[in-house]
Amino acid sequence: MLYWIGFVLMKSFMKLYLNVQYINLDNLPKRGAYIIASNHTANIDPFVLGTSRVRYFSFFAKESLFKTKLSSWFFHELGAFPIKRNTSDFRAIREAFHRLEKGGPLILFPEGTRGLGDRVKKPQPGIGMIAVKSQVPVIPAYLENTDKIAKHGFGLFHKYPVKLHFGPPMHFNKDQDYREISSQIMDRIWDLSKTCPTLSNS
Distance CA 36, CA 139 (A): 5
Say what the pLDDT of residue 202 is.
44
Cα separation, 121 vs 125, in Å, equals 13
Count CB atoms within 10 A of the CB of residue 4. Answer: 11
Backbone angles phi, psi at 59, to 5 degrees: -160, 155
pLDDT of residue 198 exceeding 80, the answer is no
Domains of the chain: 2-195 (3.40.1130.10)
pLDDT tens for each residue of 128-152: 999 999 999 999 999 998 888 766 6
For residue range 43-89, what is the model confidence (pLDDT) as tens digits?
899 999 999 999 999 998 888 889 899 999 998 899 998 888 766 77
Q: What is the pLDDT of residue 1?
A: 84
Residue 199 has pLDDT above 60, yes or no: no
